[in-house]
C-alpha cells in the first residue's frame, strides 16, 4: 500500500522507458504486466507511470518522512528529477533545425527523453561502475552496492529496497575486499579509494560546490579522483552537476558522431584528440544543451540496436 499518490501535469509527453532505462539511472525497472516503473530516487521507493500528458506516481516507502508539506514535496522532487519545467519541445525543435541528422532520427515521433537531474554521490559511483559495461550489468552492480552497503527502505512485493550507500559506508578499508567478492573486479579499488578521496576534499559539500565552477574546471577536478576518466567525468557533469553541455563519448556516441565528422572513421581507437573533437563538434552544433541532445540520440540508437537484434534473432537459417 502506498504512502501517498499524486499526479503531475506534463508540458510534453514523457518517455519513462527511454529516460529511466536508457543509461542515465540504474535504479528503476519496468513492470511489464502493470506497465509501470518502480525504483529508488532520493531515498524513496517510487512507483510511476505516464498517461497521456500526466505523470502518475506513488510513494511506496522512504527512509525518512519530510517535515514539509507532503502534497508539494514529492511533486517538487519529481519535477526537478525529470526537469519538467524545461521547454523540451522547444529544445527538440532547435536541435532538429541545428542538424539534419537529429531531424532524420525522428526523435519526436514518440514520447520525449529528458535529461535526469540526479543525486551526486549515486551518480559518481554508478558511473565508476559503468566502465566497460552495458546497462544491464551496471544496474546489477549498482544494486549490489545498495544491498550490501545501503540502508533498507522497505519491502515491496517480496523484494527489499535499499538506499544508495553514503560516502562513509563506501570509504571503509574492508569495502574493496567485499566488492571483489561481489564481482566488481578492478572497480573495487576505485570505488573505495574515490569515496576516501571525496571525503578528504569535503564530502558531499565538495561535490555540490563543483556545480558552481566552470564546466572545464569541474571536469578537471573529477579527473583527479580514482577510477574517473574523461567519459565518466562528463557523465557526472551532465547527469548531476547541471553542465548540460557535457558530452560523454563512448562507442555509441562515436557512431553517432560519424554523421557530423566523417573523418573520425580514420581513428582506430579513442584518444583525447578524438574525444575532444567529438565533444566540441556536438557543442558547436547543439549549443549549451548539447549533452542533452546527445542523450536523446543515444537513447534512440539503443532502441534501434534492440530492434535490430530482435530481427537478427528471428531470421531463419540458410539451408
pLDDT digit string, tens, across residues 148-158: 999 999 999 99
Please tell me the predicted confidence (pLDDT) of residue 120.
98
Please tell me the predicted confidence (pLDDT) of residue 142.
98
Give the domain ranges of the chain: 4-95, 120-302
**Annotation marks residue 300 as catalytic:** no
Architecture per CATH, 4-95 = 2-Layer Sandwich (3.30)
Whose cell is 531470421? That residue is 315
Please tell me the predicted confidence (pLDDT) of residue 312.
29
DSSP 79-136: HHHTTTTS-HHHHHHHHHHH-HHHHHTTTTSSSBP------HHHHHHHHHTTTT--HH
Catalytic option among 96, 105, 193, 231: 231
Please tell me the predicted confidence (pLDDT) of residue 1.
63
**Which distant-in-sequence residues (6+ apart) come within 8 Å of 27 by Cβ?**
39, 40, 41, 122, 139, 142, 143, 146, 164
**Which distant-in-sequence residues (6+ apart) come within 8 Å of 58 by Cβ?**
2, 3, 4, 5, 6, 46, 47, 48
Which residues of the chain fall below pLDDT 50?
Answer: 304-305, 307-319
Identify whether the C-beta of residue 46 lies closer than 8 Å to the C-beta of residue 60. yes
pLDDT tens-digit series, residues 145-188: 999 999 999 999 999 999 999 999 999 999 999 999 999 999 99
Class of the domain covering 120-302: mainly alpha
Stated pTM of the model:
0.90
Instruction: Evaluate whether 4-95 and 120-302 have a shared fold.
Output: no
Distance CA 47, CA 62 (A): 12
Amino acid at each position: 500500500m502506498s504512502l501517498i499518490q499524486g499526479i503531475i501535469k506534463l508540458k510534453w509527453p514523457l518517455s519513462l522507458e527511454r529516460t529511466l532505462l536508457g543509461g542515465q539511472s540504474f535504479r528503476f525497472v519496468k513492470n511489464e504486466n502493470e506497465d509501470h516503473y518502480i525504483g529508488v530516487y532520493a531515498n524513496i521507493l517510487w512507483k510511476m507511470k505516464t498517461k497521456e500528458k500526466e505523470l502518475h506516481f506513488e510513494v511506496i516507502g522512504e527512509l525518512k518522512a519530510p517535515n514539509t508539506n507532503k502534497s508539494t514535496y514529492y511533486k517538487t522532487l519529481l519535477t526537478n528529477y525529470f526537469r519538467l519545467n524545461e521547454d523540451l519541445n522547444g529544445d527538440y525543435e532547435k536541435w532538429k533545425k541545428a542538424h539534419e541528422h537529429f531531424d532524420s532520427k525522428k526523435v519526436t515521433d514518440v514520447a520525449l527523453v529528458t535529461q535526469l537531474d540526479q543525486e551526486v554521490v549515486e551518480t559518481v559511483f554508478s558511473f565508476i561502475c559503468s566502465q566497460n559495461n552495458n546497462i544491464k550489468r551496471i544496474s546489477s552492480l549498482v544494486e549490489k552496492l545498495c544491498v550490501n552497503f545501503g540502508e533498507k527502505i522497505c519491502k515491496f512485493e517480496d523484494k527489499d529496497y535499499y538506499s544508495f550507500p553514503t560516502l562513509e559506508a563506501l570509504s571503509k578499508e574492508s569495502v574493496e575486499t567485499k566488492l571483489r567478492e561481489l564481482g566488481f573486479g578492478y572497480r573495487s579499488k576505485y570505488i573505495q579509494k574515490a569515496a576516501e578521496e571525496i571525503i578528504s576534499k569535503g564530502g558531499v559539500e565538495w561535490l555540490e560546490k563543483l556545480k558552481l565552477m566552470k564546466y572545464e574546471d569541474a571536469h578537471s577536478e573529477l579527473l583527479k579522483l580514482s577510477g574517473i576518466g574523461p567519459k565518466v567525468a562528463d557523465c557526472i557533469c551532465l547527469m548531476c552537476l547541471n553542465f548540460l553541455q557535457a558530452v560523454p563519448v563512448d562507442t555509441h556516441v562515436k557512431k553517432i558522431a560519424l554523421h557530423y565528422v566523417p573523418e573520425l572513421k580514420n581513428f582506430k581507437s579513442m584518444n583525447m584528440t578524438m574525444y575532444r573533437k567529438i565533444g566540441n563538434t556536438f557543442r558547436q552544433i547543439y549549443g549549451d544543451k548539447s549533452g542533452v541532445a546527445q542523450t536523446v540520440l543515444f537513447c534512440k540508437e539503443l532502441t534501434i540496436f534492440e530492434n535490430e537484434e530482435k530481427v537478427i534473432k528471428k531470421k531463419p537459417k540458410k539451408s
